[in-house]
A and B are shown apart, each in its own frame.
Chain A
Amino acid sequence: MSPFAPQPVAVVDGALLCPGDLSWEDLRSGHSAAVRLPETFPIRVGAPCTQALSHPTLPRGTALALEALQRLELDPDRTYGLVLGLPSLLSETAYVETALVHRNHPDGMRPVTTYTGRHALQRIAEALPQVGPCIRVDAACATGNDALIVGAEWLQAGLVDDVVVVCASAMLNPVGTALFHNLKALNDRDDLTISCPFDLRRRGFMMGEGAAVAWLSNQPTTSVRGWLCGYGQSMNAAGFTDLPEDQNAMLSACREALGGLDRVAYISAHGTATLANDAAETRLYRTLFGRQAEQIPLSSIKSMIGHTLGAAALIEALVCLEALREQTAPPTIHYKEPDPDCDLNVVPNQAAPIQGNFALSNAFAFGGHNSCVLLARERP
C-alpha cells in the first residue's frame, strides 16, 4: 500500500454550535432553527445562533469559534495542531462600517484590526492548552471538509499527534445577507419553511450562522466518535457559481473519498435548496452509485439550520458521525412537493434508519471547489 494512502484518522470528539442551539437530538427530530429577521435585513428569514454570544472586542465569527471550542473537553497534557476555517471579513458589519469612513486613515482603523487577517488564528490558538502548528484555510462553503483534510494530512504525516479543527461563520447580519441576496443565492420569501432542499418549491438557501469543532488524533485513548477514512478534492473550472454539465470533477472528488466503495449507508448532501445544486447532486449520485443510489438515504440538514457557509461542512461531518452511531439519518424537512429532477430518497420530514458503517459528506462551494469526506462508525 502506498505510504500516502490515507490511513483512517480517529475523530475523538466534536462539538456543535448550531443555529437555534439545536443539538443532534433536535436535528434527528426535525426541528427548525428558522426565525424572522429584523427589517434591517434585506431578507425575511434566517437561522441565527440564539445564545447571546457577543464579545466586546472580538468579531462575532471568532466569538462563535471560541464558544464551540469551549464546548469540547480537551486533554490538557497534549499538544494540538490547529486548523481554523473562518471565512469572514466583509461579512462583519462593524468592519465595513469603520472601513467606509477610515479606509485611508490608519488610526481610524485601529478598532477593527481584530477583524483582519491574522488575528483570529492567534486568538483561537491561545485557547488551546498547548499548541503546535496552526493554519487558517478558506474554501467558502467547503471550508469544513478542507479543514478536516488538512488535519488528517498532518496526522498521517506525523506532524502532530492531535489536531483541533474549528470552523465558524457569522455572515447572518445585514451586510453578509445583502451580499448573498444581491447574487440571488438566497430565498427571500417571508416563510419559515423556505429552506426546502430537493423540493420543487425551492428557490435558494436560507442563511444560518454557527460553529463546530472536531478533535482528531493519532493516539485516541478514550472511545472515539468515529473515523475519517477518505477524502477527495477537485475544481470545476466552470465559473464562480456555475455547476457544470460535465460532472467529472465532482465525480473525481467523490470517488477519491470513497476509495473504491460502491455504496454507503448515508449521504450528507450539500443540499443548499438552490434549483441548480440539488438537481445536479441528484444526477451526481445516480452516476456515482448507479441503481444503488435509490437505496442510499441522502438528506440535507440545511433544511433545519440553513446554510452556515464556512461552518457547514464541519457541522455536517459531525452530524454524519452521530447518524452512523445511531444508525439514523436526519431528515430533510419542509419537503412537500417532489421534484422529478431530485427523485432519490431524501429522507423526507422524518428521520429514517440506516444500515452500514460509512457515510459520504459533500461540499460543493462557490468558486467551483469540491471537497468530499468519507466517515465511518468503526475503524475499517
Chain B
Amino acid sequence: MIKVSAYSAAFSSLPHGLHPGPGIIATGLLKGGRTTSAAARYAQEAVAAMHMDPADLALVCICGPGGPMVQAFDNAWRQSPDGQLTGPDFARRSRRIHPFTLLRALQNQVAAHLSIHFGLHGPCLNALHHPTSLAWLMPRFARLLHTHRGILLVLAGAGEQEENQAVRRCLIGEGPALEGAVCLLLNQEPGLGILEPIPADATAEPNFLDRAAPIPMTGARLLRLITGSANEGILPLFDEGGQRAALRWRRT
C-alpha cells in the first residue's frame, strides 16, 4: 500500500463531482506550444497547483494522447499534387514540417517536460493509455518510496481535440470527454490516506464507457474518492482488452 500526502489537478473543465478549490483548477482547453504538448501543459499546471518543490522526487506518469498533432503536417500536405502527404516530392515538401514536431509528439513528452520545467532529476517511468497501469505500478511505488523522499504521480491526457476526439467518437460515441492532469504526492509520511491494490471484482461487468475512459477520467475518479466525504472507497480499473484491477482508498 502507498500513502497519499497531497493532490492537485488541472482540467479543461471540472468533471462532475469535483469542485474548484485549493489544488484543483479549471484551465479551459489548452493548446500545445512549440515544444510542449497540450497534455504536458495540463501536467505543468497541475504540478504548479500543488505549490511544492518537486525537484527531488521520483516521477511516474500515466499518459493518454498528448494532443492534436497532425496539424503539424498541414503545410507539407497542402502542397501535395495528389492529396497524399507522402506522394510525389515528399522529400522536398517534408521540410515544411516544423523541426520540433517530433519533440511535441514524443509519447514521453509529459515526463520530459515536467523534468525540464521543474528540475526533476530522479528516476522516471512513463506508462501509456491503460488505467490498470495504476495498479500494476504498485511494485514501483513501493520500491521508490524506500529510496526517495517521495513520488510525483501524474495522470495526464489531452485526447479531446481534432484527430484524437474523432477516434474516441468513432470507438465509443459521445462518451466521457475530459482533458487534464491529476497529480498525487506519494510518500511515507502520514497524509491524506492510503491506496492499496485489492482483487478486482471478476463478476463486475464494466460498461464500455468505463472501459474506454480516458486517463484524466481515471484521475478524476481517484480525486473524487480522495476529496469526497466517505472514509473508504473502491476505484475499479478496466481496460478495453478486458484487463481489470482495483484499488481501495482509505482515509487516515
Mutual binders A and B: yes
B residues within 8 A CB of A122? 239-241
Decide if B33 is an interface residue (CB 8 Å cutoff).
no
B-facing mask of A145-177, CB < 8 A → 1, else 0? 010011001101101000000000000001100
B-facing mask of A39-76, CB < 8 A → 1, else 0? 11110000000000000000000000000000000000
Decide if A291 is an interface residue (CB 8 Å cutoff).
no
B residues within 8 A CB of A118? 129-130, 239-241
B residues within 8 A CB of A184? 99
Q: Could you say which of A2, A105, A239 contacts B146, with CB atoms under 8 Å apart?
A: A2
Q: Could you say which of B118, B137, B170 contacts A107, with CB atoms under 8 Å apart?
A: B170
The segment from B6-14, B19-27, B161-169, B227-235 that touches chain A is B161-169
CB distance from A246 to the nearest CB of B (A): 10
B residues within 8 A CB of A366? 102-103, 106, 108, 112
Q: Are A42 and B106 in contact (CB under 8 A)?
A: no
B-facing mask of A350-371, CB < 8 A → 1, else 0? 0000000000000001111100
The CA of A249 and the CA of B59, in the complex, are separated in Å by 14
Which of A138, A149, A365: most chain B CB closer than 10 A?
A: A138
Decide if A35 is an interface residue (CB 8 Å cutoff).
no
Q: Are A90 and B69 in contact (CB under 8 A)?
A: yes
Q: Are B130 and A175 in contact (CB under 8 A)?
A: no
The CA of A113 and the CA of B168, in the complex, are separated in Å by 9
Q: Could you say which of A96, A138, A153, A181 contacts B107, with CB atoms under 8 Å apart?
A: A138
The segment from B41-49, B90-98, B188-196 that touches chain A is B90-98
Name B235-250 residues within 8 Å CB distance of A: 239-241, 243, 245
B residues within 8 A CB of A93? 85-86
A residues within 8 A CB of B115? 235-237, 367-369
The CA of A39 and the CA of B127, in the complex, are separated in Å by 36
* CB-CB under 8 A for A234 and B122, given A121-B241, A133-B132, A183-B99: yes
B residues within 8 A CB of A288? none
Q: Are B121 and A234 in contact (CB under 8 A)?
A: yes
Decide if B124 is an interface residue (CB 8 Å cutoff).
yes
A-facing mask of B108-128, CB < 8 A → 1, else 0? 110110011011111111111
Q: Are B170 and A109 in contact (CB under 8 A)?
A: yes
CB distance from B237 to the nearest CB of A (A): 11
The CA of A369 and the CA of B162, in the complex, are separated in Å by 29
Decide if A136 is an interface residue (CB 8 Å cutoff).
yes
* CB-CB under 8 A for A117 and B129, given A90-B69, A153-B143, A368-B112: yes
Q: Are A97 and B86 in contact (CB under 8 A)?
A: yes
Closest to A2 in B: B146
Q: Could you say which of B83, B127, B162 contacts A104, with CB atoms under 8 Å apart?
A: B162
Decide if A89 is an interface residue (CB 8 Å cutoff).
yes
Closest to A126 in B: B241
Q: How many residues of B contact A (CB 8 A)?
A: 74
Q: Could you say which of A96, A99, A182, A237 contacts B102, with CB atoms under 8 Å apart?
A: A182
Q: Are A109 and B137 in contact (CB under 8 A)?
A: no
Q: Are B108 and A181 in contact (CB under 8 A)?
A: no
The CA of A180 and the CA of B94, in the complex, are separated in Å by 11
Q: Are A154 and B97 in contact (CB under 8 A)?
A: no
The CA of A364 and the CA of B157, in the complex, are separated in Å by 25
Name B24-71 residues within 8 Å CB distance of A: 35, 59, 64-65, 68-71
Grouping DSSP codes into helix (H, G, I), strand (E, B) and loop, the A interface class, with mixed when no group exceeds half, is mixed
A residues within 8 A CB of B103? 183, 240-241, 366
* CB-CB under 8 A for A174 and B94, given A136-B130, A235-B59: yes
Q: Are B142 and A109 in contact (CB under 8 A)?
A: no
Decide if B207 is an interface residue (CB 8 Å cutoff).
no
B residues within 8 A CB of A89? 69, 105, 107
Using a CB–CB distance below 8 Å, which chain B residues touch chain A?
Answer: 35, 59, 64-65, 68-71, 73-74, 76-77, 83-86, 90-91, 94-95, 97-103, 105-109, 111-112, 115-116, 118-130, 132-133, 135-140, 142-143, 146-147, 162-164, 166-167, 169-171, 239-241, 243, 245
Q: What are 25 sample pairs from A and B whose C-beta atoms fall under 8 A apart?
A: A4-B146, A42-B90, A90-B105, A99-B166, A103-B71, A109-B167, A117-B129, A121-B130, A133-B135, A139-B124, A154-B139, A157-B138, A157-B139, A175-B73, A175-B85, A178-B90, A179-B105, A182-B102, A183-B99, A235-B115, A235-B120, A235-B124, A237-B116, A240-B103, A366-B102
Question: Which 5 A-B residue pairs are closest in the complex by CB-CB distance?
Answer: A367-B112, A122-B241, A157-B139, A178-B94, A233-B123
| Supplied contacts A135-B133, A136-B127, A232-B123, 12 more A-B pairs, CB within 8 Å | A4-B142, A4-B147, A100-B85, A104-B166, A126-B241, A138-B107, A150-B137, A179-B105, A180-B102, A183-B100, A236-B115, A367-B116
